[in-house]
Chain A
Amino acid sequence: EPEVTQTPSHQVTQMGQEVILRCVPISNHLYFYWYRQILGQKVEFLVSFYNNEISEKSEIFDDQFSVERPDGSNFTLKIRSTKLEDSAMYFCASTVEAGVETQYFGPGTRLLVL
């Protein structure tokens, strides 16, 4: 069964460093998302992406964050200058049709900012 994959599974970085989290969505899916889950808290929406542009972003998704689909298969989340409070599990998700079909989630990247 096709699945969403994410790399790396864990990343440790120093505050102020840039990180790039990578996702490979399911191949025929057209809508892509990033969510995050701070330890012990709810899963929160960050951004949605369709047709090579951001379609929606939350107030969490400030200028330090960016997303890109560089090559038609990968979908990346970049945090330019990490802060301690960016430590969380980051999930990528994709769906074939937004608003109708299931969003399929990847296994997540656990980011720790020291």
Chain B
Amino acid sequence: KQEVTQIPAALSVPEGENLVLNCSFTDSAIYNLQWFRQDPGKGLTSLLLIQSSQREQTSGRLNASLDKSSGRSTLYIAASQPGDSATYLCAVLYSGAGSYQLTFGKGTKLSVIP
């Protein structure tokens, strides 16, 4: 069974700092990996999708990397802003059972202090 772990569970940084969020998964048989943002009491906003054949994806100040063989992904946020404060979720599209369901980590709650 696929398990996704995210560390740290919470992170507080001053505005302007660069930061890295970590995600690990137990089974490398994945289709892709997605990073989402979740604001309190809200839905999930997709940030980046990395296919299993790719090593990284970039969108603005966000850069996500994928090392499928080691079961790891990182989300790098450059020049953090207070508006980046949210919970960041990592999810893998698991192919081990032939299904297309996303398996989520518990998230990293990010607070960017002005």
Which residues of chain A have a CB within 8 Å of any CB of chain B? 31, 33, 35, 41-45, 48, 55-56, 58, 91, 93, 98-108, 110
Residues of A within 8 A of B114 (CB): none
CA distance A14 to B74 in the complex (A): 43
Q: Contact between B46 and A110 (Cβ–Cβ < 8 Å)?
A: no
Contact size range, B: 20 to 34
Question: Told that A43-B91, A98-B100 touch, could you supply 13 new A-B pairs with CB distance under 8 A?
Answer: A33-B102, A44-B104, A45-B103, A48-B100, A48-B101, A93-B102, A99-B31, A100-B31, A100-B32, A102-B46, A105-B44, A105-B46, A110-B41
Residues of A within 8 A of B51 (CB): 100
B42: which of A93, A102, A108 is its contact (CB, 8 Å)? A108
